[in-house]
Amino acid sequence: MWMLVMFDLPVNTPQAQREATRFRQFLLDRGFEMNQFSVYMRFCGGQKTFEAHVKAIEQNLPSGGDVQILQITDKQYERIRVYSGQTRRQARKNPNQLALF
CB-CB contact of 64 with 34 (8 Å): no
Using the predicted structure, report yes or no on whether residue 97 has a pLDDT greater than 70: no
Residue 79: half-sphere exposure toward Cβ, Cα within 13 Å: 4
**Element (DSSP H or E) covering residue 74:** helix 74-78
The CATH T-level fold of domain 2-89 is: Alpha-Beta Plaits (3.30.70)
Q: Name the pTM for this structure.
A: 0.81
Question: Model confidence over 20-69: pLDDT tens digits?
Answer: 999 999 999 999 999 999 999 999 999 999 999 999 999 999 999 999 99
| Whole-number Å distance between alpha carbons of 34 and 71 | 16
| Domain residue extents for the chain | 2-89
